[in-house]
Amino acid sequence: MKSRLRIIIALCGFMLIVFNKVSAQNFTDVIVHDPMMIKQGDTYFLFCTGRGISVFSSKDLKDWKKEKPVFDTPPLWAVEAVPTFKGHIWAPDISFHNGLYYLYYSVSAFGKNTSCIGVATNKTLDPTDSNFKWIDHGKVIQSVPGRDLWNAIDPNLSYDENQQPWLTFGSFWSGMKLVKMDASLTEVAQPEEWYTISKRDRSFKQDDYNPGEAAVEAPFIFKKNGYYYLFVSFDYCCKGVESTYKVVVGRSKSIKGPFLDKEGIKMDEGGGSLLIEGNKDWNGVGHNSAYTFDGKDYFVSHAYDANDDGKPKLIIREMAWDGEKWPIISW
């Protein structure tokens, strides 16, 4: 009996060592903000905030090659819609449907809800392919100060059980929105159907970027285990080692919500169970996405490297699940 116990303990120790090696292998020195990922063939492509939308490629999730940005020049419609826009595009979202890659992206005036979400398509992500060409379809959604109490940035496209497309988005203000899309994926469906799926109470001022404890943004919906999991980022990014970003999660049987956290609190009433936050080495973990590649679930985000002047870097972690079907991320 004792020998069996020793064997079990040894095996558990070995598994823990292996798990830690697997979990730790995908910290990178790639400087990114708001990373979103997709796999075409044997190549992973990463899209993130940057001038013209930054793009990276990798064969192994470790070594990343910088590719040309999506846009050589700022889209004219975006310059007209957001007068302060100079080509630095935020928080893209990439997905593949009906033979095309759809890339949603954000243009905005920092700290204001003068914002738009646009979309571009491509037949391939391989820049050496003769069919490689980004076609911009312009504005999908716009938020206007004084008119809207929501912010049109941080898009993420999802599908419900009937293959109906939905776009979730939002930052601060009145929270994360979900809107039904039409089959073209370039326009909001008519008649319009909107939901608020996450928010935190705040004392509201139209142009106030400092909502105190009410900061929430970067929604991402991941379907798994019979649930729609909603990840959002609480608190503040973009402050280097002073960043307080953290990722919380809730889930729902319906893409429309309500999304509940582990305590049963609705995310549109301030709920959200903590999934991961910064530590002494990595500050402000947030703006995540989640994927299944080759049978493994991954959590992708940026975090600020406390040992390298707070530079924002790519973090890729394998995502496990507990007995209650909640995601687990280990440092």
Catalytic residue set: 34, 217
Q: Is 194 exposed, middle or buried (0-12, 13-18, 19+ CB in 10 A)?
A: exposed
| Residue 16 backbone zone (phi > 0: left; psi -120 to 50: alpha; other: beta) | alpha
Angstrom distance (rounded) from CA 234 to CA 218: 9
| Run of H or E residues at 141 | strand 135-143
Nearest to 261 by CA among 292, 288, 227: 227
Distance of CA 172 to the CA centre of its chain: 15
**Half-sphere exposure in the Cβ direction for 296 (13 Å, CA):** 11
Q: Name which of 281, 315, 330 is nearest 19 in CA terms.
A: 330
Coil, strand or helix: which one is 47? Answer: strand
Inter-CA distances, 121 with 35, 65, 98, 169, 218, Å: 18, 22, 11, 19, 22
Instruction: State the Cα–Cα distance between residues 274 and 262, nearest whole angstrom.
Output: 9
Question: In this structure, what are the phi and psi dihedrals at residue 250, rounded to the nearest 5 degrees?
Answer: -145, 175
